[in-house]
Structure 1
Amino acid sequence: MKLNASLLATLILSLSAATQAEEKVLNLYSARHYQTDEALYSNFTQQTGIKINRIEGKEDELLERLKNEGANSPADVFLTVDAARLAKAHELNLFAPVASKTLEKRIPAHLRTEDWFSFSTRARVIVYNKSRLTAEDVQNYADLANPKLKGKFCSRSGSHPYNLSLLASIIAHQGEAKAEEWARGMVANFARAPKGGDTDQIKAVATGECGVAISNSYYVARLLRSTKPEEQKLMEKVGIVWPDQAGVGTHINVSGGGMLKHAPHKEAAVKFLEYLASDQAQRYFADGNNEWPAVEQVKISNPALESLGKFKADQLPVKNLAMYQAKAQMIFDRAGFK
Structure 2
Amino acid sequence: MKQILLATTSLLLIGSALAQTKTLTVYSGRGKGLVDPIVQQFEIDTGIKVNVRYGTDAALLAALQEEGARTPADLFWSNTSGALGTAVQSKLLLTLPENITSKVPATFTPEARGWAPLTIRFRTLAYNTGKLKPEQLPASVMDLPKMTQLKGRIGWTPTYSSFQDFIGAMIALKGEQATREWIAGMKALEPKSYAASNVAMMEAIRGGEIDLGLTNHYYIQRFVKSGAPIGTHYFAAGDPGSLSLVTGVGVLKNTRNMPDALKLVRYLLDSKAQQFFTGELFEYPVSGNTILPTTLLPFQDAMNRSPRIDQEKLGVRLEPALKLLREAGLL
TM-score, normalised to structure 2, is: 0.78
Unmatched runs of 5 consecutive residues or more in structure 1: 1-5, 227-231
Alignment of structure 1 residues 1-338 onto 2, 5 Å: 26-35=24-33, 37-45=35-43, 49=46, 51-59=48-56, 62-110=60-108, 112=110, 114=112, 115-136=114-135, 137-149=137-149, 151=151, 154-190=154-190, 192-196=191-195, 197-226=197-226, 232=227, 235-236=228-229, 238-245=230-237, 250-295=242-287, 298-300=289-291, 302=293, 306-310=294-298, 311-313=301-303, 314=306, 315-335=308-328, 337=330
Deviation at 1:282, TM superposition (A): 0.8
Deviation at 1:96, TM superposition (A): 1.6
Give secondary structure in 1 for the equivalent of 2:290: coil
CA contact (8 A) 1:201 1:214 kept: no
Give secondary structure in 1 for the equivalent of 2:274: helix
Give secondary structure in 2 for the equivalent of 1:177: helix
How far apart in 1 are the matches of 2:72 and 2:323?
36
Give secondary structure in 1 for the equivalent of 2:78: strand
How far apart in 2 are the matches of 1:133 and 1:160?
25
- 1:4-62: CA deviations, max 9, x gaps? xx9xxx9xx99xx79x959x654433344445645533544565x45133132323564
How far apart in 2 are the matches of 1:177 and 1:35?
37
CA contact (8 A) 1:44 1:275 kept: yes
Deviation at 1:88, TM superposition (A): 4.5
Structure 1's 243 and 298: CA in aligned 2 closer, same or farther, altered over 3 A? Answer: farther
CA contact (8 A) 2:118 2:248 kept: yes
Deviation at 1:214, TM superposition (A): 0.9
Q: What letter is aligned with 1:215?
A: T
Match of 1:3 in 2: none
How many aligned positions are there?
311
How far apart in 2 are the matches of 1:158 and 1:38?
25
Structure 1's 154 and 109: CA in aligned 2 closer, same or farther, altered over 3 A? Answer: same
TM-score, normalised to structure 1, is: 0.77
Q: What letter is aligned with 2:284?
A: W
What is the RMSD computed on CA atoms of the aligned residues? 3.4
Deviation at 1:259, TM superposition (A): 0.5
How far apart in 1 are the matches of 2:62 and 2:239?
39
Q: What letter is aligned with 1:95?
A: L
Structure 1's 133 and 87: CA in aligned 2 closer, same or farther, altered over 3 A? Answer: same
Unmatched runs of 5 consecutive residues or more in structure 2: none
Sequence identity (%) = 23
Give secondary structure in 2 for the equivalent of 1:289: coil
Structure 1's 116 and 144: CA in aligned 2 closer, same or farther, altered over 3 A? Answer: same
Structure 1's 149 and 90: CA in aligned 2 closer, same or farther, altered over 3 A? Answer: farther
- 1:152-174: CA deviations, max 9, x gaps? 55233423322211111111222
